[in-house]
Amino acid sequence: MPTNEATARARADRRRRIPVSLKDPATLRALIDTLAEGTYVATPEGRILDANPAFLDMVGAKTMAELEAHSLADLWPETERRRDFVEQVIERGAVTEFELDVKRLDGEVVSVLDTCHAQREDGEVVALYGVLLDITKRKTLEAQLAQLSVRDPLTGCYNRRYLQAQQPVLERPSYFYGCMMFDLDDFKAVNDTYGHEEGDRVLQRFAHFVIRNKRADDQLVRLGGDEFALFVEVVAPENLQIIAQRLIDNASSQAPIAFSIGHAYRRPGETLENVLARADAAMYEAKGRAILIDKRRPGED
């Protein structure tokens, strides 16, 4: 029975007898064809000379013959960005992980990182050797995570983090808008009487009520607890009043609970903090005149 040491020596001898080298064209081609990343060879003008199966799959081509009918310009809709990328490759000799959008043959757009090397002969670039990494799923996940970070998980409204990110926009000198502030009346009593699950349902339904009556571009923010702010882009205070009146008129039949509302139209050069403070003050001033709804159990239709 061979010892472990003898078995190891036999395996090493077999490996030495196998003529494997990356310099061997067949070995190199076999390696490239098994890569998950898409690899391609193209002329500087964009004609595709060769590609591996992963590249074909990435661009939606079944065969090289089908792919050869298209140039790189057909596959990259960002023509100026693609041109800049090629110029950088030619000038520097190589570019690593340059982000581009690739347009598949079926019209779908995928995001990739392109790492490309320029092949020169007698000082002239004769071919581009590229490797594509598909990052579409990663970018989609990043976008979803970004949305989650600025959304209130209970109501789906924007949150304070979103408001902070929007502050430079909301403080542009030429940006005209109004802010409506909402506070749900006796919301604590809803939680105490019916429980926090019912309280959450009331918050969700109130957000849906405002969303139903606002315009598509208006932005609803849950500031915390039972306080909401609606940012409305309007050119005059009268337009803000019209939208506020629509909410008031529909409250009796649509809102799940009585609420107070106050609003402020942004003054020239006013900060976001000041706009919020004035809308908040107007809302508290209206506390004694809460927008009432039909007498019913909170949250019921």
Which numeric CATH code is attached to 151-289? 3.30.70.270
What was the pLDDT predicted at 249? 92
pLDDT tens-place string over residues 174-229: 899 999 999 999 899 999 999 999 999 999 999 999 999 999 999 999 999 999 99
What was the pLDDT predicted at 210? 96
- Cα-Cα-Cα-Cα dihedral sign, residues 58, 62, 65, 70: negative
For residue 185, give Cα distances in angstroms to 202, 227, 252, 294.
Answer: 12, 10, 14, 14
Domain ranges in the chain are 11-139, 151-289
Which is more confident, 215 or 77? 215
Q: Are 22 and 31 in contact (CB under 8 A)?
A: yes
Residue 80 CB-half CA count within 13 A: 0
CB atoms within 10 A of CB 245: 10
pLDDT tens-place string over residues 133-174: 999 988 888 877 777 789 999 999 999 999 999 999 999 998
What was the pLDDT predicted at 157? 95
DSSP H stretches of helix in 35-159: 53-59, 64-68, 72-75, 79-92, 136-149
**Is the pLDDT score of 272 beyond 90?**
yes
Strand order in the sheet with 178-184: 219-224, 227-232, 178-184, 259-265
What was the pLDDT predicted at 294? 47
Which numeric CATH code is attached to 11-139? 3.30.450.20
**Is the pLDDT score of 90 beyond 70?**
yes
Q: What is the DSSP letter of 267?
A: P
Give residue 270's pLDDT band: very low, low, confident or very high (50, 70, 90). Answer: very high
pLDDT tens-place string over residues 21-75: 666 778 778 888 888 999 999 988 888 889 999 999 999 999 998 888 887 777 8
Q: How far apart (Å, rounded) are the C-alpha atoms in residues 162 and 156?
A: 12
Least confident residue range of 8-12, 37-41, 147-151, 238-242: 8-12
Beta bridge partners of 224: 227
Matching fold, domains 11-139 and 151-289? no
Give residue 299's pLDDT band: very low, low, confident or very high (50, 70, 90). Answer: very low
